[in-house]
């Protein structure tokens, strides 16, 4: 079974964009089930435990993005998820804020992009001023928002079938300037140097963009997640 952790704080569900994000979590859960051929359980970040992962016989862990300022999180409520990430016992895929959570847990720094407001690409309904890690709490921060290309920097099985500049959805105002030890940077943009990083030894992947929001026009995310499921051993 795949486990998909909803990293959004409960305050996020009361925001104008909260219902859209909550609905998207279910939609993404179904997408992961369809790609993997396995059940996928959606679990809130403060309900996940190492024992639950064992009980579910989890084969992979996905962590969503978030749109609520981290100052609102009770850090003790994140400890079980941190322990799961730090143990590095199963494949992990961090999506935007989920990548930032993994990176910080493993010793990296998460910082604002800085500067003045900047959006790229065409905004979708979900990214209009209210998306995972593009909170209105930091109006002076640069944001990468919308569907736009990333530059591929290296060959890797997770990138198989993608061209040199695949298009993904972006929605973030924070980033990881240097990945944790053991990670290789494989994708970048001018605004966000670390758009994707991979740890081959422990089968951990983090993307600052959102491959889970692929569309018919921009299907690269579907290819990437499918590649991850194969590369990580979820299916062959």
pLDDT tens string 2-51: 999 999 999 988 888 888 998 999 999 999 999 999 999 999 999 999 99
Q: Could you tell me if residue 44 is inside a domain? A: yes
Q: Could you tell me if residue 191 is inside a domain? A: yes
Nearest to 229 by CA among 157, 175, 142: 157
pTM of the model: 0.90
Express each pLDDT in 44-78 by its tens digit.
Answer: 999 999 999 999 999 999 999 998 888 999 999 99
Q: What is the pLDDT of residue 194?
A: 97
Q: What total of structural domains would you count in the chain?
A: 1
Burial of 30 (0-12, 13-18, 19+ CB in 10 A): exposed
- Distance between CA atoms of residues 84 and 208, nearest Å: 20
Express each pLDDT in 108-136 by its tens digit.
Answer: 999 998 744 443 433 333 433 334 544 44
Burial of 49 (0-12, 13-18, 19+ CB in 10 A): middle
- 8 A C-beta contact, residue 56 and residue 2: no
Range of the structural domain that residue 100 is part of: 2-231
How many CB atoms are located within 10 Å of the residue 158 CB? 25
Helices (H) and strands (E) in the chain, counts: 5, 12
| Res. 140 pLDDT band, cuts 50 70 90 | low
The domain that holds 141 is classified in CATH as 3.40.50.880
Q: What is the mean pLDDT of the chain?
A: 89
Question: What ranges make up the beta strands (E) of the chain?
Answer: 2-6, 40-44, 60-63, 92-95, 111-112, 144-149, 151-152, 167-172, 174-175, 184-188, 196-199, 204-207
Q: Could you tell me if residue 236 is inside a domain? A: no
Using CA atoms, how far residue 150 sits from 15, 107, 191, in Å, is 30, 25, 10
- CA angle at residue 38 from 19 to 150, to 5 degrees? 60
Express each pLDDT in 166-178 by its tens digit.
Answer: 999 999 999 999 9
Percent of the chain with pLDDT over 70: 88
């Amino acid at each position: 079974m795949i486990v998909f952790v909803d990293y959004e704080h409960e305050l996020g569900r009361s925001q104008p964009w909260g219902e859209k994000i909550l609905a998207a979590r279910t939609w993404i859960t179904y997408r992961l089930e369809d790609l993997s051929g396995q059940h996928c359980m959606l679990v809130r970040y403060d309900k996940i435990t190492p024992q639950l992962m064992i009980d579910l016989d989890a084969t992979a862990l996905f962590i969503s993005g978030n749109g609520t300022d981290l100052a609102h999180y009770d850090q003790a409520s994140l400890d079980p998820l941190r322990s799961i990430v730090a143990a590095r016992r199963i494949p992990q895929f961090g999506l935007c804020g989920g990548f930032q959570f993994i990176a910080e847990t493993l010793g990296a720094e998460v910082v604002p992009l800085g500067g003045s407001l900047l959006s790229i690409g065409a905004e979708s309904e979900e990214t209009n001023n209210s998306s995972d890690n593009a909170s209105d709490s930091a109006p002076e921060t640069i944001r990468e928002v919308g569907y736009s290309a990333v530059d591929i920097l290296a060959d890797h099985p997770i990138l198989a079938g993608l061209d040199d500049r695949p298009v993904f959805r972006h929605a973030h105002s924070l980033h990881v300037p240097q990945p944790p030890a053991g990670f290789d940077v494989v994708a970048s943009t001018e605004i966000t140097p670390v758009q994707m990083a991979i740890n081959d030894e422990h089968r951990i992947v983090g993307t600052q963009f959102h491959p889970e929001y692929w569309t018919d026009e921009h299907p690269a995310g579907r290819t990437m997640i499918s590649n991850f499921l194969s590369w990580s051993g979820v299916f062959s």
